[in-house]
Chains A and B, each alone.
Chain A
Amino acid sequence: MNVVVLLKQTFDTEEKIVIENGAVSEDGVKFVINPYDEYAVEEALRIKEQDGSTVTLLSVGPARTTEALRTALAMGADEAVLIEDARIPQDEHAIATVLAAYLKQQSYDLILGGNFSVDNGGAQVAVRLSELLGIPHASSITKLTLQGGTASVERDAEGDLELLDVTLPALFTAQQGLNEPRYPSLPGIMKSKKKPLRTLTLDDVGLTPDQLEARTERTSLSLPPSRQAGQILSGDIPQQAAKLVELLRTQSKVI
């Protein structure tokens, strides 16, 4: 099988956000594979170990994304494709269109991605892609079993589990709990340096910028109002518990 993993590079979740000149500053920031995409990579590698599938990583992003792609190659993926072009707007409609244009020229049986990216949190691109390719999808899966041409998946629906059988080719997005991603091994890191990583432009996927008009536009960016430390209660624990409930009633009036 050909398994494609959609991957985005994001800020490490322990990073603080600094806004400079109306944009989020990337100075000194540690970048990682979007944590949900990491589950997708791991799941693809487990499939590869079972049936010898080829795992291709696919990303739309800036040049720094090659770092995240190399890491996923070191985990065991076979090859990577980065579509890097400043003419692609930061808009989910545009990015899904680019991915679809590339994949329409490829053969694939299974596409895996993350449930959402921890930066924009739009949770759109992967599902949009499935619709543009005309293949079924299920988002937020915590289990995937392949048999013949069918994928049986468990989808996390706010704590309930939806059990679906989906005919391949299909697209799924990974939720926490799907698996425990591996760390790249040292031999894996050595091998990854020789694995193919191609960088493509819009022209290579046969698109022009006028086909990618952004549907949305940002008008402002700010930090949330910062919270002040409140009061640490005192006295023995039973007194503090009583005091807290009283404060919730009289001061913050939430009960």
Chain B
Amino acid sequence: MSRTFLIIAEHRDGKLRQVTLEALQAASLAAKDGDSLAAVLLGSDLDGLAGELAAYALSDVHVIETDSLKQYNPESYVDALAPFIDSIRPDGVFLGHTALGRDLAPALAAKLSAGQLSDVTAIEQSGEEVVFTRPLYAGKAIEKKIFRAYPWVVTIRPNNIPAAGSAGGGQAAGIVKHDYSPSKPLRTVIRDVVRKMSGKVDLTEAKVIVSGGRGVKSGDGFKPLEELAELLGGAVGASRGACDAGYCDYSLQIGQTGKVVTPEIYIACGISGAIQHLAGMNGSRIIIAINKDPDAPIFQIADYGIVGDLFEVVPLLTQEFRKALA
């Protein structure tokens, strides 16, 4: 039996999100010979993005294009996707584990009476089964799971599965347009979207994170960290201590409460390393700790440690990186 997997593509500021290409790769890791992959785009002005997606190894790129889908609306997205999904009957639906994916996937799963595996970090085939790896307790434990029935719904943690490469020179996917008008009066209205993140790198997708703890002492104390993050094209994060103290917004919090991140480089500045914080960043490739206290637990898991005052160390580090990158 050949199966169809559907990727719900996400885009931001007119660009495909990296996690969508990772979801595409995830679906192809789950696929066997004869299975086919399709993607769906929702929004307005999608011609460019649809053309871009068509270059990947997909049978079809479906486009549901209308002004009312320009902004994500939980109700209208489900309303638009449900009949579409009914028409193509995918065996699996793949999304990013993002603000949109986390909100949309469970609603679709409920609609389809389907199982969902969230925040998946790896996929492998084992005999007839497709085995999904995902964290528990924000990464303090790891479980492997399988589905007992089709269809599947899977959300992919950003930064863990390599992004799919474009098919290159092969047959481009067909672009199929679909209409949408609400099937019922909607009870959810998007009043406004305040773009606080324009041009900034999202924490969960960042390759470099410079993170501050209680040691930054104030909101202003984040400035040297921001400079370093900007130089490295990364994002600024924080520990619970720094958020609770009011130095920064909770949206920056990394930990078992907060976000779980897996960047290439994690630079912990003035963070002692409470268990709940470590759970959120333990999967980073290289961890660098900067702390005045040589006994801080963060040094127990750091690849490199500098014992010293972050306000002295971070600017010097920024200088050295600037030289190295010049």
The minimal Cβ–Cβ distance linking A184 to chain B, given in whole angstroms, is 20
The residue among B100, B137, B194, B243 with the most chain A CB atoms within 10 A of its own CB is B137
Asked if B302 is at the interface (CB within 8 A of a chain A CB), the reply is yes
Task: Determine whether the beta carbon of A36 is less than 8 Å from that of B257.
Answer: yes
- Decide yes or no: A255 and B324 within 8 Å by CB, A119-B136, A229-B301 being known contacts: yes
Per DSSP, chain A at the interface is: mixed
Interface residues of B in 104-144 (CB under 8 A from A): 105-107, 109-111, 113-119, 129, 131, 135-144
Bound complex: CA of A254 vs CA of B265, how far in Å?
8
Residue B109 contacts which of A93, A142, A163, A218 (CB distance < 8 angstroms)? A93
Residues of B within 8 A of A14 (CB): 274-276
Bound complex: CA of A162 vs CA of B131, how far in Å?
35
Bound complex: CA of A14 vs CA of B137, how far in Å?
11
Residues of B within 8 A of A125 (CB): 106
Asked if A196 is at the interface (CB within 8 A of a chain B CB), the reply is no
- Decide yes or no: A215 and B147 within 8 Å by CB, A19-B141, A118-B138, A230-B304 being known contacts: yes
Residues of A within 8 A of B144 (CB): 218-221
The digit string for A140-169, where 1 denotes a CB below 8 A from any CB of B, is 101000000000100111111111111100
Asked if A124 is at the interface (CB within 8 A of a chain B CB), the reply is yes
Interface residues of B in 9-50 (CB under 8 A from A): none
Asked if A121 is at the interface (CB within 8 A of a chain B CB), the reply is yes
Chain A, interface size category, equals: 35 or more
The digit string for B284-326, where 1 denotes a CB below 8 A from any CB of A, is 0111100000100001111111111000110011011101110
Residues of B within 8 A of A142 (CB): 250
Residues of B within 8 A of A35 (CB): 257
Residues of A within 8 A of B288 (CB): 244
The total number of A-B Cβ pairs within 8 Å is: 280
Asked if A52 is at the interface (CB within 8 A of a chain B CB), the reply is no
The residue among A19, A222, A244 with the most chain B CB atoms within 10 A of its own CB is A244
Residues of A within 8 A of B143 (CB): 218, 220-222
The minimal Cβ–Cβ distance linking B218 to chain A, given in whole angstroms, is 19
- Decide yes or no: A216 and B316 within 8 Å by CB, A161-B193, A224-B142, A227-B301 being known contacts: no
Count the B residues whose beta carbon is within 8 Å of the partner chain — how many? 98
Task: Determine whether the beta carbon of A165 is less than 8 Å from that of B139.
Answer: no
Interface residues of B in 250-272 (CB under 8 A from A): 250-251, 253, 255-258, 264-265
B residues with CB within 8 A of A: 71-75, 78, 98-100, 102-103, 105-107, 109-111, 113-119, 129, 131, 135-149, 187-197, 200, 202-204, 243, 249-251, 253, 255-258, 264-265, 274-276, 279, 282-283, 285-288, 294, 299-308, 312-313, 316-317, 319-321, 323-325
Closest 10 A/B residue pairs (Cβ)? A215-B115, A131-B110, A127-B106, A230-B303, A157-B99, A13-B276, A167-B187, A159-B197, A241-B316, A177-B250
Enumerate 17 A-B pairs (CB-CB under 8 Å) in ascending A order.
Answer: A13-B257, A13-B279, A124-B116, A130-B107, A136-B74, A161-B193, A166-B189, A177-B250, A217-B146, A224-B140, A227-B282, A230-B302, A231-B303, A238-B316, A241-B313, A241-B316, A248-B265
A131-B110, A159-B197 are known contacts; what are 14 more A-B pairs with Cβ within 8 Å? A17-B140, A92-B116, A118-B137, A123-B102, A124-B118, A127-B103, A177-B249, A215-B148, A217-B145, A218-B144, A221-B143, A222-B143, A229-B301, A244-B306
